[in-house]
Amino acid sequence: MDPGVINLPAVIVAALVGFVIGGAWYAPALFGAAWQRAAGLDDATVAGGNKAMIFGLAFLFLLVMAFCLAMFLAAPGVTLASGALYGFLTGFGWLFFAIGVVALFERRPWAYLLVNGGYWVVTMTAMGAILGGWK
Q: What is the DSSP string of the chain?
A: --GGGS-HHHHHHHHHHHHHHHHHHTSTTTTHHHHHHHHT--HHHHH-S-HHHHHHHHHHHHHHHHHHHHHHHTSTT--HHHHHHHHHHIIIIIIIHHHHHHHHHTT--HHHHHHHHHHHHHHHHHHHHHHHH--
- The boundaries of the domain holding residue 103 are 3-133
pTM of the model: 0.94
Model confidence over 51-94: pLDDT tens digits? 999 999 999 999 999 999 999 999 889 999 999 999 999 999 99
Number of domains in the chain: 1
